[in-house]
């Protein structure tokens, strides 16, 4: 079946460090890919998305590129801030008209220290 | 704040009791989703509505679970004869579907603990 695998957390970084959170997927077909973020005490929020191969999603300094050849959608940020501390979820959807039916990874907790 | 709201935030119940959760989506959103999230895992899809019609239910949604969205506005999720395995965070999300890839807006969830 379709699935998403993320790197295990927690990830602890110092402020201004470079961030990579790995995400790989298994899908029969061509999914759309997403990163959602969950700040403490808040609901999940869409961070960025990519709908076809080689698309790059970006938002708030975060980027992820849809790599069909490696079935990956790794999240990167050049310089993290304490305010980026949150849980990050990679997700996919298979059906264009059921884009809200998401398959999530297990989440990766990020903790940024000053 | 006009985001997705869920009520209650926390619910503690005894095994065998029935519980009901409510979700109020963003007012102009036509789609509403329910997800379940257990500790250390990502959310799992349960069911979704387009307006008042329930379009799909996951096999995770046993016959003890029922969801409604009367009049296409708020939604309720009821669990009958709760079991300890039902303990989880229940998330609601809504979107404005216009035939494109959707952006979901999530509520903060209802944390259910079954004792």
Which pLDDT value is given to residue B102? 77
Give A43-86 as a DSSP string. --EEEEEE-STT-EEEETTEEEE-BTTTTB--EEESS--GGG-E
- Give the separation between CA B100 and CA A80, rounded to whole angstroms: 31
What confidence tens digit (pLDDT) does each residue in B28-63 have?
A: 899 999 999 998 899 999 999 999 999 989 988 889
In this prediction, residue A29 has a pLDDT band, given cuts at 50, 70 and 90, of confident
Q: Which residues in chain A touch residue B104, judged by CB atoms under 8 angstroms apart?
A: 44, 46, 100, 102
Query: Would you state the torsion angle of the CA atoms of residues A9, A34, A29, B42, taken in this order, to the nearest 10 degrees?
Result: 40
Residue of B nearest to A102 (CA): B45
Q: Is B67 helix (H, G, I), strand (E, B) or coil?
A: strand
- Phi/psi zone of residue A88: left (φ > 0), alpha (ψ -120 to 50 degrees), beta? beta
**Cβ burial, residue A70 (10 Å; 0-12/13-18/19+):** exposed
Q: How many CB pairs under 8 A join A and B?
A: 66
User: Which residues touch B61 (CB under 8 Å, ≥6 apart)?
Assistant: B46, B47, B67
**Cβ burial, residue B26 (10 Å; 0-12/13-18/19+):** middle
What confidence tens digit (pLDDT) does each residue in A70-112 have?
A: 999 999 999 999 999 999 999 999 865 556 789 999 999 999 9
Which pLDDT value is given to residue A78? 97
Pairwise CB contact (< 8 Å): A32 & B107: no
Which range among A33-42, A98-107, B73-82 shows the weakest confidence by mean pLDDT? A98-107
């Amino acid at each position: 079946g379709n699935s998403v695998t993320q790197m295990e957390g927690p990830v602890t970084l110092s402020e201004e460090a470079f961030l990579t959170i790995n995400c790989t997927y298994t899908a029969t077909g061509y999914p759309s890919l997403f990163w959602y973020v969950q700040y403490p005490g808040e609901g999940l929020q869409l961070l960025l998305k990519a709908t076809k191969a080689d698309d790059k999603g970006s938002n708030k300094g975060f980027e992820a590129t849809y790599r069909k050849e490696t079935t990956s959608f790794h999240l990167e940020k050049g310089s993290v801030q304490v305010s980026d501390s949150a849980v990050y979820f990679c997700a996919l959807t298979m059906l264009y008209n059921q884009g809200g039916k998401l398959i999530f990874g297990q989440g990766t907790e990020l903790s940024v220290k000053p | 704040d006009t985001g997705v709201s869920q009520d209650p935030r926390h619910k503690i119940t005894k095994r065998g009791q029935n519980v009901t959760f409510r979700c109020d989506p963003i007012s102009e959103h036509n789609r509403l989703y329910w997800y379940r999230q257990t500790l250390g895992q990502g959310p799992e899809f349960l069911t979704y509505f387009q307006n008042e019609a329930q379009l799909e239910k996951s096999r995770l949604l046993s016959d003890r679970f029922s969801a409604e969205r009367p009049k296409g506005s708020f939604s309720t999720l009821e669990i009958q004869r709760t079991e300890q395995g039902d303990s989880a965070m229940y998330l609601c999300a809504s979107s404005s579907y216009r035939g494109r890839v959707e952006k979901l807006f999530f509520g903060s969830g209802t944390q259910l603990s079954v004792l």
